[in-house]
A and B are shown apart, each in its own frame.
Chain A
């Protein structure tokens, strides 16, 4: 149990376009989902926390107008990178939790390359 999927697993896009990444909890209801960004050989950096039905809470330094997060249901959260630029190229990982002291279950990640 506690499986989280991400789609797509990788995406290549042109500079200036928008890209949407989906994060789904397949066998449980996730009241909270997290979005992380990871550069090569570096640690995971939390971008934002989203709770179902409410606005996402962004970490300091993360542009909320550039990284749009929607958590419309208990099994789906989306991250949209708007007007992507090469510096947005990174590995994006989501995690999901049932809330409280429940652990975070991670998705397999999405590798974004912006040309």
Chain B
């Protein structure tokens, strides 16, 4: 069975510093997708970054980068130059292989609450 684990319930970071949020996963499928979402207190799920299992390079999107280590089954999110607006809950998710043309399900980790200190 597929599983996503986020072991950091809460993290603090000083404004303008970088922070790494951990995520490990387990799957027997060779093809999968890994996502990171941000959920501020308003509740909306904001897509941050995506990494495909066959992607050769680590994904980057602005201040967000994904440290993908396939052999270790980890997909850590790195946020550079933290801002006060980055304070939120962050979820790592893995998408199952799509079947029959339907979109695969997302399996979410437990989440990490990040607080950025001024």
Contact = CB atoms under 8 A, between A and B. Distances in A.
A40 to B, nearest CB: 10
A85 interface: no
Given A43-B110, A44-B91, A108-B42, A97 B103 contact: yes
Contact of B44 (A43, A44, A106): A106
Interface residues of A, number: 27
Contacts of B108: 43-44
B102 A106 contact: no
B43 interface: yes
B50 interface: yes
A108 B106 contact: no
Contacts of A109: 43-45
| B50, B102, B111 — most chain A CB neighbours (10 Å) | B102
Contact of A93 (B45, B89, B103): B45
A78 interface: no
Given A43-B91, A43-B108, A93 B98 contact: no
B98 A34 contact: no
B38 to A, nearest CB: 11
A34 B105 contact: yes
Nearest to B45: A106
A43 B109 contact: yes
Nearest to B4: A43
Contacts of B62: none
16 contacts: A31-B102, A32-B102, A32-B103, A34-B106, A42-B110, A42-B111, A43-B110, A44-B108, A93-B43, A98-B103, A101-B103, A103-B47, A103-B50, A106-B37, A106-B44, A109-B43
Given A105-B47, A106-B37, A106-B44, 20 more contacts: A31-B102, A31-B103, A32-B103, A34-B106, A41-B113, A42-B110, A42-B111, A44-B45, A44-B91, A44-B106, A99-B101, A99-B102, A100-B98, A103-B35, A103-B50, A104-B103, A108-B43, A108-B44, A109-B44, A109-B45
The 5 A-B residue pairs with the shortest CB-CB distance in the complex, in nearest-first order: A106-B45, A97-B103, A109-B43, A32-B103, A43-B108
Interface of A: 31-32, 34, 38, 41-44, 46, 49, 51, 91, 93, 95, 97-106, 108-109, 111
